[in-house]
Amino acid sequence: MTTPDAGAAVQVVEDFFAALTDRDVDRACRYLAPDVVWQNSTLPTLRGLPTVRRALAFANRPALRFEAEMQHITSDGATVLTERIDTLVVGPLRSTFWVCGTFELRDGRITLWRDRFSWGNVAVGTVRATARSLLRR
């Protein structure tokens, strides 16, 4: 059963990813709660808005780019589930891989951002990106 705020929660997550894709860290951080927790498969957990902001700003350098293409997104209210294709562009390399995300919201802001992905899938995406880059030379 869908709660009335499910659509609003989905919109927050979609707007958050739009800001990340636009390389607008300040706008993206407006969707995060001060006590946000960001967890990525096998990577250290980042806690608190200042720490997450630094990580997002670090990834927002001129030679880097991030894109997310939502495949599926749904919510049961304060929890949003995403299945997406993420792309990391590093210079001429464009690596694409599958990610499943869970987002928990409180008062319209993301308090938990948990991404799960396969490092094997990331490696395959990187090998393909490298091969494409080399074939273009």
Is position 37 within any domain? yes
Which range of residues forms the domain containing residue 26? 6-135
Is position 119 within any domain? yes
- Residue 46 and residue 29: Cα distance in Å, rounded? 14
Specify the 3-state DSSP secondary structure of 26: helix
Is position 17 within any domain? yes
> Residue 56: what are its φ and ψ, rounded to 5°?
-65, -40
* pLDDT tens profile 99-136: 999 999 999 999 999 999 865 666 666 666 666 666 66
**CATH assignment at residue 129:** 3.10.450.50
Q: Residue 1: what pLDDT?
A: 36
Is position 111 within any domain? yes
Is position 109 within any domain? yes
Q: Residue 125: what pLDDT?
A: 60
Residue 19 makes CB contacts below 8 A (sequence gap 6+) with 25, 27, 28, 30, 31
Q: Residue 118: what pLDDT?
A: 61
Whether 26 is catalytic is no
Whether 5 is catalytic is no
Catalytic residue among 5, 15, 24, 115: 115
Contact 84, 107 (CB under 8 A): no
Mark the ranges of the chain whose per-residue pLDDT is less than 50. 1-2, 4
Is position 1 within any domain? no
Number of domains in the chain: 1
* pTM (2 d.p.): 0.82
